[in-house]
A and B are shown apart, each in its own frame.
Chain A
């Protein structure tokens, strides 16, 4: 027996843990890549804000007097100006957001309800609610992660300390995952946790591709920094080594996109996340609508002519994938978390 409320709690715990881990990796890889690029060639720190989806919130808190665009500019960084100015985004570094501000905002700012620290706190609260259905050690590991991260906030604000702090986040999330894999029964609670993780993973992969490729795809093949950028994309999804082993071909936009969207074996590729989601849904009762939505999302991803997308239409395509993913969430939400059985009184359920 699994209460609807518990299913929802573990689902969100799964999503937020995944979000914390992935975001930590984005920041880590972005910091590394940033250091690699010659001054004036880097893309600044705004893309991070766009990937995490907090560019507007950040702009509200850190108004940039020299930037006329105001809120929302960051997400359109470079791309809108066409090929010639793709790297013109480098100019935005001088005008754009300061590294410290962006990193602080994404890591732990109190102004950012989607910060890494906030994601860990939400995961922790959900695991606390769901304590009866998750292994005790998993809750303890999450509690420890939250304590360790809150205790070392001062570390997070320097480049050297930041590496340690982010590593702690990634290791902590992996620790929890390891406990779940090694000690949790493959029951319904585990299914909802995994579904949450996989949907979040798929969503974040599409966001990375969306933001990164906007500033990259127009440049064609002779860009000396293109490879560095795509390597960063892969690394930020922990996909560089798996990609190299799976696709020894020249690293470029088309093959990277295909790998991250359509590979069936790499656990952060969108189609692999959807396959995993489907296998968990199959074990649940009344999953028809959610399974349909999941199959639809898989079809959207599988049927894409990926190499052609690098020439145009990628953003629209990724929007379509994100909408399909959101649909899977909605079906799960209405079927399992807010069901309408006999005797169910939705108005008596306090949110």
Chain B
């Protein structure tokens, strides 16, 4: 989970100059009581409207925070930090070669999203994941999308994420990318964009669930007042999804495959295995025999495994097929998967739909496969392989974000406005020599949310990672997501490894306030929170 967002201004199609948007907004009223000096500046703020008053969905929260006061908030922040530490929610940062466990940074002020807005995001994410899966399946079968010119041949053939071994394979339901962790951002006028479709081994869902647990302990009263959509059903849905792709008819044996305790996301792997009630295996715990079945080494001998939720990248999965010296994988795993004896989630090769160049074709992919208009916006992306685009990019480098097409995790990203002349010159050279490897996007001014920093509440830039599940039995999107927040004022890097924090995300149903909520038409006796069972049975 490493997106570096470093967008500072906004340029749409290269026409609009960044400083137009950075100018102060006139006519602003004094901000509401909670933090009189709170001023999000020219950015869209998730909680505070352009007049300086809280948005409708945040009113109750804002009032409550006024009552709590700075000291009350600080106390609750301390309680939250203590709980995160006690529960052992950590993430690993690398200092030199050594991984060090750090307590997970959590800002108690939630981000609030009204449920009607969420409904749009939800349908947009499902639409996108459906289309991407049809695309992946097409790539590994008939390649209609290539033949009809929707995507160029080299997009598929030239991609380092294309896996020859996947040609002709039919995973259950034709679904390759079952789990997607999308990165969403919002620009100054409030438009939500999908910035990345993470289809390989997206992480962060454990932190989303843990954040909610701590938030409930920190603000129990808010959960009584508000109708906040639960996030707990995710685990049950994931369990159903994993079971539904099992090749065997009986009770499936499901495992989570981790690179091991030293992996940065090990906490999440262990968390998910525990929540799912399945074994957490390392490559060395599994073996593929001559019958092309995968077995786990248990105390009772070898036991067949039906479904592998893998948290290891494609290239490390099987040393017989990919990197021969990978110690993390299982020799023969791809053979077992090809023969249909084991399901692998996400399927090998799904990453073909997860690179920056494919990203720029997603609107066309949606139109081609679904015959629908995209519901969510895609950030305009210029492909440097295209001559006109390249010319424009080279002439406007200092106003653009330039990204390598096939990397993830923010590697190699150049942010024009904050780059040095040397960096710009270097980037220009790289683009000229290998134009197909680069794409460019306008700088998007990320939205902000009030955040506690050193006892003060100030606006900090945020993004949002919801998780979408897609199986043969249907789709599910988390109600909310992991909001990541930069902790330095003005900073646009939200990665936890770069000192970024996180927030709980409340999808609030304004028509269904809790039993103690004010202004509720059906206040007394109404069901708490939601009519859905938050404890969705895992199986």
Contacts and interface: CB of A to CB of B under 8 A. Distances in A.
Interface string A120-141: 0000010011011100100110
B434 interface: no
25 contacts: A1-B300, A1-B303, A3-B279, A3-B285, A3-B299, A4-B298, A4-B299, A125-B261, A129-B261, A131-B271, A132-B256, A132-B270, A132-B279, A132-B280, A140-B87, A143-B86, A143-B88, A188-B299, A285-B300, A339-B297, A339-B299, A343-B289, A343-B302, A344-B302, A345-B287
B297 A284 contact: no
Contacts of A139: 88
Contact of A3 (B271, B289, B298): B298
From DSSP, what is the main secondary structure of chain B's interface residues? mixed
Contact of B280 (A131, A341, A345): A131
A42 to B, nearest CB: 40
B155 interface: no
A5 B274 contact: no
Interface centre among B86, B271, B277, B303 (most CB of A within 10 A): B86
Contacts of B86: 140, 143-144, 147
Nearest to B271: A131
Given A6-B279, A136-B274, A144-B86, 4 more contacts: A2-B300, A125-B261, A132-B273, A140-B88
Contacts of B87: 140, 143
A6 B274 CA distance: 13
Interface in A321-341: 336, 339, 341
Given A5-B282, A6-B279, A132-B273, A342 B298 contact: no
Interface in B257-286: 261, 270-271, 273-274, 277-282, 284-285
Contact of A5 (B278, B285, B289, B327): B285
Contacts of A341: 297, 301-302
A322 B154 CA distance: 69
Q: Which 3 A-B residue pairings sit nearest by Cβ, starting from the closest?
A: A132-B273, A143-B88, A131-B270
Contacts of A132: 256, 270, 273-274, 277-280
Nearest to A148: B86
Interface string A99-138: 0000000000000000000000000010011011100100
A147 B85 CA distance: 9
Given A3-B281, A4-B285, A139-B88, A350 B327 contact: yes
Contacts of A125: 261
B296 interface: yes
B253 interface: yes
A32 to B, nearest CB: 31
B300 A3 contact: no
A179 B297 CA distance: 28
A66 interface: no
A277 to B, nearest CB: 16
B301 A339 contact: yes
Given A143-B87, A343-B289, A3 B270 contact: no
B295 interface: yes
A133 B282 CA distance: 15
Interface in B316-345: 327
Contacts of B285: 3-5
Given A129-B261, A132-B279, A136-B274, A2 B88 contact: no
A7 interface: yes
A284 B301 CA distance: 11
B118 to A, nearest CB: 29
Contacts of A284: 299-300
B327 A2 contact: no
A303 interface: no
B204 to A, nearest CB: 18
Given A3-B279, A341-B301, A341-B302, A128 B296 contact: no
Contacts of B274: 131-132, 136
Contacts of B284: 5, 348-350
A286 B85 contact: no
Contacts of A339: 297, 299, 301
Interface residues of A, number: 34
From DSSP, what is the main secondary structure of chain A's interface residues? helix
Contacts of A350: 284, 327
A212 B77 CA distance: 51
Contacts of B256: 132
Interface in B238-257: 253, 256
Contacts of A6: 279-280
A344 B88 CA distance: 34
Nearest to B87: A140
A3 B271 CA distance: 17
Interface centre among B296, B299, B300 (most CB of A within 10 A): B299
B102 to A, nearest CB: 14
Given A140-B86, A140-B87, A341-B301, A128 B289 contact: no
Contacts of B302: 341-344
Contact of B297 (A4, A128, A133, A192): A4
B538 to A, nearest CB: 13
A125 B298 CA distance: 21
A176 B88 CA distance: 15
A131 B273 contact: yes
A342 B299 contact: no
Contacts of A345: 287
A136 B285 CA distance: 23
B80 to A, nearest CB: 15
Given A140-B87, A147-B86, A343 B287 contact: yes
A237 to B, nearest CB: 31
A118 B113 CA distance: 46
A348 B287 CA distance: 10
A224 to B, nearest CB: 49
A2 B279 CA distance: 7
Interface centre among A125, A132, A143 (most CB of B within 10 A): A132
Interface in A25-41: none
Contacts of A128: 88, 261, 270
Interface string A230-274: 000000000000000000000000000000000000000000000
Nearest to A2: B299
A9 to B, nearest CB: 10
Nearest to A348: B284
B297 to A, nearest CB: 5
Contacts of A7: 299
Interface in A182-211: 188, 192
Interface centre among B253, B289, B300 (most CB of A within 10 A): B300
Contacts of A336: 299
Interface centre among A131, A139, A344 (most CB of B within 10 A): A131
Contacts of A133: 279
Given A147-B86, A341-B302, A343-B289, A3 B297 contact: yes
A11 B396 CA distance: 62
Contacts of B303: 1
A7 B279 CA distance: 11
A61 B368 CA distance: 74
Contacts of A5: 282, 284-285, 297
A47 to B, nearest CB: 36
B287 A344 contact: yes
A162 B189 CA distance: 61
A3 B285 CA distance: 7
Nearest to B297: A4
A341 B286 CA distance: 12
Interface in B375-394: none
A343 B274 CA distance: 28
Contacts of A4: 285, 297-299
Contacts of B278: 132
A7 B285 CA distance: 12
Nearest to B86: A144
B395 to A, nearest CB: 53
B60 to A, nearest CB: 32
